[in-house]
Structure 1
Amino acid sequence: MDFKPTQRFSDRVDNYVKFRPSYPSELLKFFTDQLGLTAASAVADVGSGTGISAEIFLNHGNTVYGVEPNAKMRAAAEKNLVGYPDFRSVNGSSENTGLPADSVDFVIAAQAFHWFEPVATQKEFKRILKSPGTAALIWNDRRMTGTGFNVDYEALIAKYGSDYKQVRHNNIDQKQIESFLGAYNEHVIFNYQDLDFDGLLGRLLSSSYMPQADSEVYPAMKAELQALFDKYQKNGMVRIEYDTRIFHARMK
């Protein structure tokens, strides 16, 4: 099946910008304290989308090359990050970033690696990284158990998500990560979003597999989401919990 990863987020850029979670502040601390990131480090953010992950490193003073093949996502990043002179927007893919060889100290892929073709991407990462260089695969891994809300929200996504089971990032297992990175380490940081109903709806609609407002199942899905929200809200908010997972290795 062709999931057209470079196209499938085009109709949900606004919700992606507004409602996708960022990353905890501890992520940057981990990169600086444990992985050797300095303000002088050049970072390639591959599959950079609307610039959520790039902004973390830009705030640290890094030059960040945001490599993104989707024109609408790339345009959103350029708009959102216009105030950062060290942001470089690049029309490229994980297999062909367009960056010079040996040009960056870090390559990251945040919420993106599961869309990549791994063999060609591995070759490209090795080509653009200086030696030694660090590659990191990062995901906000939504918790599916632990609370009633987590369980019921996952059930709603599984019910209405068109190809959710096929494209979810959890399909990437340890063997695939090791095949790509080589010997790697993993670091996990707790993350969360507190959302009102509009925020919860927007977060749901930002996922590429969820039906949009013109779908015939949208009214039923929205009604079920409202019922779920009403059941679990406290002071008009619900919490989505994540484990921010960082898989990292020297790669050259």
Structure 2
Amino acid sequence: MTHPDSASRFSNRVDDYVRYRPGYPPALWQWLHAQHGEPVDSVVADIGAGTGISSQALLQAGHTVIAVEPNAAMRQAAEQWLTPDWPRFAAVDGNAEATGLADASVGLISAAQAFHWFDTTAIVPEWKRVLAPGGRVLVYWNSRLLDGSGFLRGYEQLLLDYGTDYSAVAERYQSDAQMAAWFGSGLQASAQFANVQLLDFDALRGRLLSSSYAPVAGQPGHAPMLAALRALFDAQAVDGRVAFEYQTRAFLGTLD
């Protein structure tokens, strides 16, 4: 991965990540399977699977899933969560540029919420190697909306005020144009879907602390950040919750 600490920067945030990160909207999977014909029994390599949020959704859809995750704490969390109930799930220690998977072993590569950490040049030959003939790549993110409500605007300002390297990380997300260029002629479809979490204060706090750029306890800015979060919540909550809104962006295609 291109960022020197990309594989380790979430290690002390696993519990919050598991509990408070959003899933993906059902419309995404309908789009993939019903509109674009991805077989529900295809084997999926879920690259950068983290704690298994995307892997669970793929398992529920019917896929066999191999989660590829370099962070040991996150990979262990995924295994503890998914292995007991899903015999079609396995997790391996690997990264996007060196998955450790066999040649032509998967029909779909899933990259959810992690693509911006990858070396987007180095992954191409590796992903071509592990994809079976005709196999495809699905890249998707929950992109937090920055505007549209007082809460969303206030939350963005809070991250700008207190995030340790927020601006640098935020700028890593690829634009639609960058994704189209990366897929090139192989791009088959792209789409956007609404997604939202309704969070009470404890869940909002956990959602914030799951972010790699939020200072943790003992770091400068942690206490004032949480005080600012409390003030924002108190000012914007409706019936004890705030709407944490996303746009789920998805790109599907082959690697020609």
2:216 counterpart residue number = 212
- Overall identity of the aligned pairs, in %: 44
Residues 1:242 and 2:246 are matched in the alignment = yes
Conserved? CA contact 1:201–1:225, under 8 Å: yes
1:229 counterpart residue number = 233
1:74 counterpart residue number = 75
Secondary structure of 1:222's aligned partner:
helix
Secondary structure of 1:132's aligned partner:
strand
Tell me the TM-score normalized by structure 1. Answer: 0.96
Conserved? CA contact 1:182–1:249, under 8 Å: no
Aligned counterparts of 2:41 and 2:111: Cα–Cα separation in 1: 20
1:251 counterpart residue number = 255
> Residues 77-124 of structure 1: CA distance to partner in whole angstroms, max 9, x if unpaired?
001102100001111000011111111111010000000011111111
Q: Point out 4+ residue stretches in structure 1 off by more than 3 angstroms.
A: none
1:149 counterpart residue number = 151
Secondary structure of 1:182's aligned partner:
helix
Deviates more, 1:123-132 or 1:220-229: 123-132
**AA paired with 2:115?**
F
Aligned counterparts of 2:172 and 2:152: Cα–Cα separation in 1: 16
Conserved? CA contact 2:3–2:117, under 8 Å: no
Conserved? CA contact 1:135–1:181, under 8 Å: no
Conserved? CA contact 1:111–1:140, under 8 Å: yes
1:160 counterpart residue number = 162
Aligned counterparts of 1:169 and 1:51: Cα–Cα separation in 2: 25
Tell me by how many angstroms 1:217 deviates: 1.6
Unaligned residue ranges in structure 1 (runs of 5+): none
Alignment of 1:83-162 (within 5 A): 83-162=85-164
Conserved? CA contact 2:124–2:255, under 8 Å: no
Secondary structure of 2:197's aligned partner:
strand
Tell me the TM-score normalized by structure 2. Answer: 0.94
> Residues 116-174 of structure 1: CA distance to partner in whole angstroms, max 9, x if unpaired?
01111111111111121111110001000111111111010111111111112654234
**AA paired with 1:66?**
A
Q: Alpha carbons of 1:166 and 1:3: their partners in 2 closer, same or farther (altered >3 Å)?
A: farther
RMSD between superposed Cα atoms in Å:
1.5
Conserved? CA contact 2:146–2:152, under 8 Å: yes
Tell me by how many angstroms 1:175 deviates: 4.5
How many positions carry a matched residue from both structures?
A: 252
Secondary structure of 1:140's aligned partner:
strand
Conserved? CA contact 1:114–1:169, under 8 Å: no
Conserved? CA contact 2:33–2:40, under 8 Å: no
Conserved? CA contact 2:21–2:207, under 8 Å: yes
